Amino acid sequence: MAPDGIGALLRGIREADGRSREEQALLLQELQDGQWFDPENLKRWETERRMPVPRWHGLLAEGYGLTQAQIMAAVAASRRWRRLRRAADDGAKGGEKVDRRRFLAAAAAVTGAAPLSGMADARRGIDAGLSGSDAGDLAYLDAAFERHRGGYHGRSPVVVLGEMRQDLDLLRSVLARPHPAGTRAGLARTAAGITGLVAIIQHDRGDQRDAHGWFATAERAAREAGDRTMLAWVLARHAMVPLNYGAPAAAAQLAEQARHEAGRRPSAPGALAAAVAARALAAVGERQGALDAVAEARAIAERLDATQAADTWFGYPAQKHHVHMSQALTLLGRTRDARAEQDAALVLTRAPSIMTHALLKLDAATCLGMDGDHGGAADLAMMVWQQLPDAYREGLVRSRAEALHRTLDGPAHRRLGDLLAS
């Protein structure tokens, strides 16, 4: 089954949302005004014995919180996978040596049965290509960047990385080949976007070293492309690694670079850079600088157009804005304002956003602790932790929970610590 195909996509979202196939079928049935929907259809699509034909694409997009373009791309990926497997099987029957490692590695990454090997090799190959290639055919890679930047959609970070692996291999190959010079800047920009997305996922997984490496590659690509907006996005996203893993001073420096590259024109990277700066400055105790950055982020967010405010990893939607403001105001000790931001963010957070829900509730627990209710803070954090699937108990969520744990004392400190250590 294709790691980035329709089966993995539909099953991943359904399971992350805690629904059985029958429950998902009932949801789809309700969306088509009670008309019968056979759960066996879902089974066939999830196992890729059949592919959903175009008449189902609109219903699936609505029922799974996706776009029809994402459904079509996943179906296309499954069909490509079938053709590759068929070619491999035909080759094997003819006595030819067939290398199946590519298929097995992708499948293992999707299921979490094996580590995601070769990621560093892919980055090094992309790094090498950035200085040696002159262009590339961007059509498929541009579409891949658009598809992957849509976010997790209820899938775990490991699953999404597994789905990106083949595109990383293609990017490395395209960068290493000679091409007409006219498309070089576009290729470098696409490389910056795709490698930046890998860095975001590694950050969420808690692999700080690899995240820094991928962000360095993305920054290099953005500078080669001469795209200051892309560069501002990469720098702002990079700043979140030290910010979320205990180095706020370093985060503040990166965020300031991002603000400079973003310039004065309202943009999603500019808003993100200001928001990250607010959090970093609040964390190092520069209260007035943090409040100024909060005001700047709010002012930019109000002026973004629909494209800039898109709900993707490359946009700055209202939900993401409220999440950042919640963190900044929590660190500033303005718990009432922080709770208002948390409530606004939760209203805008769609059901499959497991990580975002958990982080917002941990922010709420931190507010309780700041207000002196350490027992309530520990209770809320423990409830969040116990409800998390195992795939989400490392990386960013663990870092946030451990930061809260360090602020508690007495029995609350002990109870939360015992749970995190178990």
pLDDT tens digits, one per residue of 266-320: 999 999 999 999 999 999 999 999 999 999 999 999 999 988 998 889 999 999 9
Q: Do 243 and 208 have their domain in common?
A: no
* Cα–Cα distance, 215 to 221 (Å, whole number): 10
Q: Does residue 99 sit within a domain?
A: no
- The band of 38, judged by pLDDT with boundaries at 50, 70 and 90, is confident
Q: Do 211 and 116 have their domain in common?
A: yes
Q: Does residue 96 sit within a domain?
A: no
Helix (H, G, I), strand (E, B) or coil at 182: helix
Q: Does residue 267 sit within a domain?
A: yes
The last residue of a domain, from among 224, 247, 276:
224
CB 195 within 8 A of CB 216: no
Q: Write the secondary structure of 55-110 as one string of H (helix), E (strand) and C (coil).
A: HHHHHHHHHHCCCHHHHHHHHHHHHHHHHHHHHHHHHHHCCCCCCCHHHHHHHHHH
Q: Do 206 and 231 have their domain in common?
A: no
Q: Do 80 and 142 have their domain in common?
A: no
Please compute, for residue 413, the number of CA atoms within 13 A of its CA located in the half-sphere on the CB side: 7
Q: Does residue 324 sit within a domain?
A: yes
Q: Do 311 and 206 have their domain in common?
A: no
Q: Does residue 164 sit within a domain?
A: yes
Q: Does residue 387 sit within a domain?
A: yes
Q: Do 39 and 79 have their domain in common?
A: yes
Position 104 scores a pLDDT of 45
Quote the number of domains for the chain.
4
Which of 71-80, 115-124, 172-181, 247-256 bottoms out in mean pLDDT, i.e. has the lowest?
115-124
Decide: pTM greater than 0.75: no
Q: Do 243 and 348 have their domain in common?
A: yes
Interhelix angle 248-262/268-283, nearest 10 degrees: 150
Q: Does residue 357 sit within a domain?
A: no
What's the rounded mean pLDDT across residues 331-352?
86
CATH number of the domain where residue 296 is located? 1.25.40
Q: Do 132 and 190 have their domain in common?
A: yes
The last residue of a domain, from among 179, 205, 224:
224
Q: Do 398 and 372 have their domain in common?
A: yes
Which of 95-104, 115-124, 145-154, 312-321 bottoms out in mean pLDDT, i.e. has the lowest?
95-104
CATH number of the domain where residue 38 is located? 1.10.260.40
What's the rounded mean pLDDT across residues 145-155?
82
The last residue of a domain, from among 352, 373, 388:
352
Contacts (Cβ under 8 Å, ≥6 apart) of 406:
none
Range of the domain at 190: 104-224
Position 288 scores a pLDDT of 96
Q: Do 256 and 192 have their domain in common?
A: no
State the sign of the Cα–Cα–Cα–Cα dihedral 323, 326, 327, 328: positive
Please compute, for residue 250, the number of CA atoms within 13 A of its CA located in the half-sphere on the CB side: 12
What's the rounded mean pLDDT across residues 14-36?
83
Q: Does residue 77 sit within a domain?
A: yes
Six-digit token string for 93:
């029957």
Helix (H, G, I), strand (E, B) or coil at 237: helix
